[in-house]
């Protein structure tokens, strides 16, 4: 349980960092975020 919330915090931090990056490859960033969310949901 503790581990899950810790991972969730790390994922949220990573997503926020990615969203702050103003890159020409917005699609790559969005795809990466979706991948993180999918793998995270499977782990729960």
Name the residue ranges covered by the structural domains of the chain.
2-43
CB 35 within 8 A of CB 14: no
- 35 pLDDT above the threshold of 80: yes
Question: CA 40 to CA 4: how far, in whole Å?
Answer: 9
- To the nearest whole percent, how much of the chain has pLDDT over 70? 77
Question: Of all residues in the chain, what percent are helix, strand and coil, respectively (each to 5)?
Answer: 85, 0, 15
pLDDT at 1: 46
Q: Do residues 9 and 31 touch, judged by C-beta distance below 8 A? A: no
**Per-residue confidence band for 2, with pLDDT thresholds at 50, 70 and 90:** low
Q: What is the pLDDT of residue 22?
A: 65
Mean pLDDT across 12-37:
78
Q: Distance between CA 23 and CA 21 in Å, rounded?
A: 6
């Amino acid at each position: 349980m503790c581990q899950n919330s810790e991972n969730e915090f790390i994922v949220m931090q990573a997503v926020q960092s990615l969203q702050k990056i103003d890159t020409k490859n917005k699609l790559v960033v969005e795809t990466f975020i979706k991948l993180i969310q999918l793998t995270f949901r499977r782990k729960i």
